[in-house]
Amino acid sequence: MSADNETAQDRRRLKRRLSFWRIVAIILVIILGIWIFDTFSEDDLTDHVARLDVSEIIVENERRQEAIGRIRDDDTAKALIVYINSPGGSTYGSERLYKALRRVAEKKPVITIIGTIGASGGYLTALAGERIFAGESSITGSIGVIVQLTEFSELMEKVGVTATAITSGGIKGDPSPFKPVSKAGRENLQTMVTETYDWFVDLVTERRPLDESEVRRLADGRVLIGISALRNGLIDELGGIEEARHWLESERQISRSIPLHKIDYSEPKPLIERLFSGMLGKSVISERLTLDGLLSLWQPN
């Protein structure tokens, strides 16, 4: 093989390598550009109204708490609209969410909107807003607290299984799924439920233009649609996002022309997965939820 042929082949190989790395560089620049656009969107740099969606079962969520804290400290976020579509959840999770939203309300307007459902802990969350909106047929109310127990001692007896517990006190480990709840254990649970219920009632009384007797009349666990909730003073106005923006403009001078920025507090994903999910749609994988402790949850039997 002549030296000229070898030189030509070397040039072709070098050209192919250069073409490959040019393509790689272009792809990396595109990915970087998409990431920068995703991370530093225009709404993050200009005045906007933040929107926080509270959906499904309410549990403790540190990412949500941190997102709310960022909204509170973001001077470009002129107001916060909280869109609720939840039957409630753990009482403590709802309490933490409510208190975080009230801290935002110390610095800027917070408006809450009940979508399809905002009951029990969902309604507790709505109380954080200085104005509550709901649809005419939205499901709300269900003010109350519940502890649910499962006990299968009779089944264990039938299959010949026993359970033994060594405790430090009379009602330690009570309730248990392995034995009927004792009288003392039931009284202890009832005290917890009653005290938490009274706290919920006090919160509604504080936040709504109702006296305690009116709240207790409504706080028997009943659910109401938006029309009835408005008539009974549990919400302020029928409507949704559009009506909330109109109220902010007329009452708080926050123009409807500034953008609405939806806050994402979902589980962080690897960059590649986020890029492809942004281009191809949302992931269908959902988080597993567990509920422990006292519940403020509307769940029809």
- Determine phi and psi for 165, rounding to 5 degrees: -130, 135
Active-site entry in 90, 120, 138, 142: 120
Please report, for the chain, the start and end positions of each structural domain, with discontinuous segments joined by +: 41-297
Dihedral, CA of residue 88, residue 91, residue 97 and residue 98, to nearest 10: 100
How many Å apart are CA 106 and CA 69, to the nearest integer? 12
How many Å apart are CA 10 and CA 14, to the nearest integer? 6
Q: What is the mean pLDDT of each run of 10 residues along the chain (301 residues)?
A: 62 71 74 59 74 95 97 97 96 97 98 97 98 98 87 79 78 79 87 95 97 97 97 98 98 96 83 52 40 64 60
How many Å apart are CA 32 and CA 30, to the nearest integer? 5
| pLDDT of res. 285 | 35
Q: Please count the CA atoms within 13 angstroms of the CA of 152 that sit on its side-chain side.
A: 7
| pLDDT of res. 123 | 98
CA proximity to 81, closest of 242, 205, 234: 242
Does the active-site annotation cover 120? yes
Does the active-site annotation cover 108? no
Dihedral, CA of residue 117, residue 278, residue 37 and residue 83, to nearest 10: 0
Active-site entry in 172, 183, 262, 269: 172
| pLDDT of res. 230 | 98
| pLDDT of res. 44 | 54
| pLDDT of res. 204 | 98
| pLDDT of res. 287 | 39
Residues 72-89, buried b or exposed e (16+ Cβ, 10 A)? bebeebbbbbbbbbbbbb
In CATH, what number does 41-297 get?
3.90.226.10
| pLDDT of res. 253 | 97
